[in-house]
A and B are shown apart, each in its own frame.
Chain A
Amino acid sequence: MSRLTDANIAIAYEIIGRYPRPKSALIPILHLAQEQDGYVAQDAMKHIAELVGVTPAEVFGTASFYEMFKFEPVGKYLLNICGTMSCALMGAEELMHHAEKRLGIKAGSTTPDGLITLEHAECQAACTEAPCLQVNYRYRFKMTPAELDTLIDDLAAGKLTDEIPAHGVLATVRQRIPAERGVGAVAPEKVNESPEWLDGKSAL
């Protein structure tokens, strides 16, 4: 859809400034683009290429490796049901079948109203709370089919908008390094001395 907005360009430059090499900012800025549009649009990737100083192909090359980046619009809510071992042992398959039946779609597709995209996910690091799932990367633990129904009802009724932002918004808190407190990033070739505190004495 679109290039980054002025506000997001400012954030992008702030992020780029934290790395000794600008290309390191690629993934964080791709997240920013996805936050803006709900997916990573082609124009956004061209724009990111300009900001970071690489080719659009390089941006897509990196982005396409990572599962979280979507290159076409997905539902407002991305429902990821974990299916790896611990969840599988505790009934993940049943949960997935129930979700497919309830939503009337297969894993990997979006409901016709554009509300929910259902995906089969791999281990989400909540194995003792199996079976688990994530809605836009917010956890739901020890899910039963009945609880999944309630969750879907609540999402449809808009009851969870405070707790779960629309797809693309990952962390709602951004790191901010105050100019007067930050050390700043320097390209590695410009540093060839040992850090000041390695002088054999205590720092305090």
Chain B
Amino acid sequence: MTSTYAHAPGFVAGDRPKIVTSRFEFSDSYTIERYLATNGYAGLRAALAQPATSVHDEVKNATVLGRGGAGFPAGTKWGLTPQEVWPRYLVVNGDESEPGTYKDRLLMERDPHQLIEGCLIACYAAGLSRCFLYIRGEMALAQERVATALNEAYAAGYVGKNILGSKFSVDIVLHWGAGAYVVGEETALIESLEGNRGMPRLKPPFFPAANGLYGQPTIVNNVETLANLPWLLCNGSEAYTAIGTKTSPGTRMVAVSGHVKRPGVFEIINGVTTFRDLLYGEEFCGGIRNDNQLKAFVPGGGSAPWFTPDQLDLPFEASQVGPAGSMLGSGAIMVMDHTTDIPAAALTLTRFYAHESCGKCTPCREGGTWLERILTRVVEGTGTDADLDQLIEVGSSICPGDFPHASNADLGLAAVPFPYKMTTICFVGPSAYAPVHSALTLFRSEFEARVTTRKRIPVTAVANSTTGHAS
């Protein structure tokens, strides 16, 4: 029993409800012994003691929002499968790679049995007959911990044939990725799981719930979403909805990184905790490093439009963050203090998305690369003022129309609500533009200071000079 975070750097405990991180305080939290000693697999027993439909109802009543980015309720998602089409599969999305995000990795490394139990409950409730647990390739420790946990769980009769002696049987197959951000998109994940290049599929017709893995109904759930289920089944949906707000119940894990005094991953109360609490609260990050001024922050992973101090008092509630011009995404906040070189910071994200484009849609493949190249020359000081307009033009071909951004009193800007229109299948293309657009909208002077302004020669002057008549 220790409270050191030797095995989970980044995680900061606190005096708050713990739904998914309750075992993080133990140094052996990933072992089956610790899991069983701390109410492990009790949620599974509770589930199997009732008909599958009532487990499904319990999850629906709790409104467990998807924690992968889109925030779609898991119980509703499970209900979208077509009637009487079998088999159905569960695919667990553990391909966490959104810039700024890490919670799934900790949940897999620190409490793999909780995830396994969550998978089992989902399979039981939604009639899913095989589970594929896809872990990002670069996460060697998570793969080892989950593999060990699965081996233990199979041996102890929690996974496989006739689980706990019941008629419920399901295999959980561990699958590793091999390094591709876009595979975090659910249809690309399915392509990858089928042994193909990880390129997203067009929706419709390929909504996974109807037409997913091998063309069968497939539920794709995020690791954190599933990790909520054991607690939910043990404590009931009323206890779950008692935490947080009506539209955002429960807790969620949030990683705050960048220029704060104490960066960390926190399990916070959903819908209630504000960005100010997180950035400045003593139990969270404790303020900006060196007591510097906050310049901007990315509220929901690298794909999210940026916020400035004006938006600090917004709570972690999608229905408020969306109209304010951004999204909560995957629960990742990246903080920039007043010393930050904004164009260079935006470039690090745009480079990421340009690099990770799968190449299927032209606006993303070409546009992302253009954005990166143009922004690179602006940052390096060899750009011109025409480049700034070009950035907007390239971005507009990925996302036509108004792009979401935050309001800003000083600049006299009103917020443009999230989401945007897009010309690509998935969100990688628009994500390359999000940092460019936010940075250019909110901090245009920093870009202008770096570029060479080329004076346009008026047409009349050109005409006069060619005819030789001095004016």
Report whether B167 and A203 are in contact in the complex, using a CB–CB cutoff of 8 Å. yes
Report whether B105 and A125 are in contact in the complex, using a CB–CB cutoff of 8 Å. yes
Can you list 26 A-B pairs with a CB-CB distance of less than 8 A? Answer: A18-B173, A25-B195, A52-B195, A63-B178, A65-B358, A67-B180, A83-B351, A85-B334, A86-B263, A123-B98, A125-B97, A127-B263, A129-B9, A137-B137, A172-B140, A176-B154, A178-B154, A178-B160, A180-B161, A181-B154, A191-B86, A194-B84, A197-B169, A202-B50, A203-B48, A204-B165
B 82-93 binary contact with A (CB < 8 Å = 1; else 0): 001011000000
Name B160's contact: one of A68, A174, A181 (CB within 8 Å). A181
Report whether A198 and B52 are in contact in the complex, using a CB–CB cutoff of 8 Å. yes
A 166-204 binary contact with B (CB < 8 Å = 1; else 0): 000011111111101111111010011111111011111
Q: Which residue of A lies closest to B52 (CB)?
A: A198
Residues from chain A with Cβ under 8 Å of B159 in the complex: 181
- Rounded to whole angstroms, the CA-CA distance of A26 and B170 in the bound complex is 22
Name B99's contact: one of A18, A84, A182 (CB within 8 Å). A84
- Rounded to whole angstroms, the CA-CA distance of A19 and B213 in the bound complex is 11
- Rounded to whole angstroms, the CA-CA distance of A66 and B165 in the bound complex is 41
- Rounded to whole angstroms, the CA-CA distance of A137 and B170 in the bound complex is 31
Task: Mark the stretch among A27-35, A102-110, A151-159 that contacts chain B.
Answer: A27-35
- B-side residues, CB < 8 A to A, are 9-10, 45, 48-53, 84, 86-87, 96-102, 104-105, 124, 127, 129-130, 136-141, 143-144, 147-148, 150-151, 154-155, 157, 159-161, 163-171, 173-181, 192-198, 214-216, 255-259, 263-265, 298, 302, 332, 334, 336, 340, 344-345, 348-349, 351-352, 355-356, 358
Report whether A182 and B334 are in contact in the complex, using a CB–CB cutoff of 8 Å. no
Report whether A183 and B161 are in contact in the complex, using a CB–CB cutoff of 8 Å. yes
Residues from chain A with Cβ under 8 Å of B10 in the complex: 126, 128-129
- A-side residues, CB < 8 A to B, are 18-21, 23-28, 30-31, 52, 54, 61-63, 65-69, 80, 83-86, 88-90, 122-130, 134, 136-139, 141, 170-178, 180-186, 188, 191-198, 200-204
Report whether A204 and B48 are in contact in the complex, using a CB–CB cutoff of 8 Å. yes
- Rounded to whole angstroms, the CA-CA distance of A26 and B193 in the bound complex is 9
Taking the nearest CB of chain A, how far is it from the CB of B270, in angstroms? Answer: 20
- Rounded to whole angstroms, the CA-CA distance of A83 and B259 in the bound complex is 16
Report whether B334 and A24 are in contact in the complex, using a CB–CB cutoff of 8 Å. no
Residues from chain B with Cβ under 8 Å of A88 in the complex: 344-345, 348
Residues from chain B with Cβ under 8 Å of A84 in the complex: 99, 302, 348-349, 352
Name B197's contact: one of A61, A80, A180, A196 (CB within 8 Å). A61
- Rounded to whole angstroms, the CA-CA distance of A186 and B216 in the bound complex is 13
Question: Which secondary structure characterizes the binding site on chain A?
Answer: loop
Report whether A62 and B195 are in contact in the complex, using a CB–CB cutoff of 8 Å. yes
- Rounded to whole angstroms, the CA-CA distance of A182 and B340 in the bound complex is 54
Report whether A83 and B198 are in contact in the complex, using a CB–CB cutoff of 8 Å. no
Q: Which residue of B lies closest to A23 (CB)?
A: B195
| Top 8 A-B pairs, shortest CB-CB distance | A67-B179, A66-B178, A26-B195, A171-B143, A23-B195, A128-B263, A127-B257, A181-B160
Residues from chain A with Cβ under 8 Å of B105 in the complex: 125-126
- Rounded to whole angstroms, the CA-CA distance of A139 and B9 in the bound complex is 11
Taking the nearest CB of chain A, how far is it from the CB of B146, in angstroms? Answer: 8
Report whether B97 and A204 are in contact in the complex, using a CB–CB cutoff of 8 Å. no
Taking the nearest CB of chain B, how far is it from the CB of A1, in angstroms? Answer: 19
> Contacts A85-B100, A89-B340 given: A137-B140 contact, CB under 8 Å?
yes
Report whether B192 and A27 are in contact in the complex, using a CB–CB cutoff of 8 Å. yes
Q: Which residue of A lies closest to B214 (CB)?
A: A188
Name B174's contact: one of A67, A175, A188 (CB within 8 Å). A175
Q: Which residue of B lies closest to A125 (CB)?
A: B102
- Rounded to whole angstroms, the CA-CA distance of A203 and B165 in the bound complex is 9
Taking the nearest CB of chain A, how far is it from the CB of B199, in angstroms? Answer: 8
Q: Which residue of B lies closest to A69 (CB)?
A: B178
> Contacts A24-B194, A85-B349 given: A203-B101 contact, CB under 8 Å?
no
Q: Which residue of A lies closest to B349 (CB)?
A: A85
Q: A69-B178, A85-B298, A127-B99 are in contact. List 7 more A-B contacts (CB 8 A).
A: A62-B195, A83-B348, A127-B100, A170-B143, A174-B147, A198-B52, A204-B49
- Rounded to whole angstroms, the CA-CA distance of A128 and B45 in the bound complex is 36
Residues from chain A with Cβ under 8 Å of B345 in the complex: 85, 88-89
Report whether A171 and B193 are in contact in the complex, using a CB–CB cutoff of 8 Å. no
Name B139's contact: one of A20, A86, A90, A125 (CB within 8 Å). A125
Residues from chain B with Cβ under 8 Å of A171 in the complex: 140, 143-144, 147, 176
> Contacts A68-B138, A84-B349, A171-B176 given: A125-B96 contact, CB under 8 Å?
yes
- Rounded to whole angstroms, the CA-CA distance of A129 and B151 in the bound complex is 31
Report whether B178 and A20 are in contact in the complex, using a CB–CB cutoff of 8 Å. no
- Rounded to whole angstroms, the CA-CA distance of A127 and B174 in the bound complex is 25
Name B87's contact: one of A61, A184, A188 (CB within 8 Å). A188
Name B102's contact: one of A126, A186, A202, A203 (CB within 8 Å). A126
Residues from chain A with Cβ under 8 Å of B155 in the complex: 178, 181
Taking the nearest CB of chain B, how far is it from the CB of A22, in angstroms? Answer: 8
- Rounded to whole angstroms, the CA-CA distance of A130 and B260 in the bound complex is 12
Name B176's contact: one of A28, A138, A181, A193 (CB within 8 Å). A28
Residues from chain B with Cβ under 8 Å of A141 in the complex: 9
Residues from chain A with Cβ under 8 Å of B147 in the complex: 171, 173-175
The residue in A83, A138, A197 that gathers the most chain B C-beta atoms within 10 A of its C-beta is A197
Name B348's contact: one of A28, A85, A180, A197 (CB within 8 Å). A85
Residues from chain B with Cβ under 8 Å of A176 in the complex: 151, 154
Residues from chain A with Cβ under 8 Å of B352 in the complex: 84-85, 122-123
Q: Which residue of A lies closest to B164 (CB)?
A: A204
